[in-house]
Amino acid sequence: MMQVLENIQQAISSLDLQKRYFLAISTAGIGGLLLYRAWTKKSQKISVGDGWWRTEEKPLTEDRTIRPFVVETSKEMLEDLYRRIDQTRYTDSLQDCRFHYGFNSTYLKKVTSYWRHEFNWERQVKVLNKYPHFKTNIEGIDVHFIHVKPVQRKAGQKVVPLIMVHGWPGSFYEFYRILPMLTETEEDVVFEVICPSIPGYGYSEAPHVQGFNTLDAARIFHKLMERLEFSEYYLQGGDWGGFISCNMAQIKPECVKGLHLNMINARAGSTLTIFCLLVGRYLPFLVGFTREDVRRLYPYMQKNVYDLLKESGYLHIQATKPDTAGCAVNDSPVGLAAYILEKFSTWTDYKNRDLEDGGLERKFSLDDLLTNIMIYWTTGSITPSMRFYKENMGKDFHKRVDNVAKIYVPTGLAAFPHELIHCPWVWASSKFRDIRSYTYMPRGGHFAAFEEPELLAQDLLQFVKKVESKKAK
Amino acid 270: pLDDT: 65
Determine the distance from the C-alpha atom of residue 446 to the mean position of all C-alpha atoms in its chain, rounded to a whole number: 10
Check: CB of residue 410 under 8 Å from CB of residue 467.
Answer: yes
Question: Over the stretch 225-256, which tens digit does the pLDDT of each residue have?
Answer: 999 999 999 999 999 999 999 999 999 999 99
Question: In the structure, what pLDDT confidence band is assigned to residue 23 with cuts at 50, 70 and 90?
Answer: very low
Check: CB of residue 252 under 8 Å from CB of residue 45.
Answer: yes
Which position has the higher pLDDT, 470 or 91? 91
pLDDT of 425 > 60? The answer is yes
Please name the fold of domain 119-330+380-472: Rossmann fold (3.40.50)
SS3 content of the chain, % helix, strand, coil (to 5): 50, 10, 35
Amino acid 274: pLDDT: 76
Question: Over the stretch 266-291, which tens digit does the pLDDT of each residue have?
Answer: 876 667 777 887 788 888 888 889 99
Catalytic residue annotation: 239, 389, 446
Question: In the structure, what pLDDT confidence band is assigned to residue 362 with cuts at 50, 70 and 90?
Answer: very high
Question: In the structure, what pLDDT confidence band is assigned to residue 35 with cuts at 50, 70 and 90?
Answer: very low
Question: In the structure, what pLDDT confidence band is assigned to residue 14 with cuts at 50, 70 and 90?
Answer: low
Distance CA 418, CA 371 (A): 24
Question: Over the stretch 133-181, which tens digit does the pLDDT of each residue have?
Answer: 999 999 999 999 999 999 888 888 899 999 999 999 999 999 999 999 9
Segment 401-409 mean pLDDT: 92
Check: CB of residue 280 under 8 Å from CB of residue 287.
Answer: yes
Helix (H, G, I), strand (E, B) or coil at 89: coil
49 torsion bin: left (phi>0), alpha (psi -120 to 50), beta (else)? left
Which position has the higher pLDDT, 186 or 324? 324
Segment 323-348 mean pLDDT: 97
Proportion of the chain above pLDDT 90, given as a percent: 74
Helix (H, G, I), strand (E, B) or coil at 80: helix
Question: Over the stretch 104-114, which tens digit does the pLDDT of each residue have?
Answer: 999 999 999 99
Amino acid 302: pLDDT: 53
Phi, psi of 388 (to 5 degrees): -55, -30
Distance CA 241, CA 129 (A): 22
Amino acid 6: pLDDT: 44
**Structural element, H or E, at residue 438:** strand 435-440
Residue 137's beta-bridge partner residues? 142
Question: In the structure, what pLDDT confidence band is assigned to residue 26 with cuts at 50, 70 and 90?
Answer: very low
Check: CB of residue 346 under 8 Å from CB of residue 302.
Answer: no
Determine the distance from the C-alpha atom of residue 106 to the mean position of all C-alpha atoms in its chain, rounded to a whole number: 33
Segment 434-440 mean pLDDT: 98
Nearest to 459 by CA among 449, 469, 450: 449
**Structural element, H or E, at residue 322:** helix 322-329
**Mean pLDDT value across the chain:** 89
Distance CA 24, CA 257 (A): 38
Strands 133-138 and 66-69, by their bridges, are: antiparallel
Distance CA 334, CA 329 (A): 8
Check: CB of residue 99 under 8 Å from CB of residue 355.
Answer: yes
Amino acid 311: pLDDT: 85
pLDDT of 460 > 60? The answer is yes
The DSSP call for residue 353 is: G
Amino acid 306: pLDDT: 72
Distance CA 43, CA 118 (A): 55
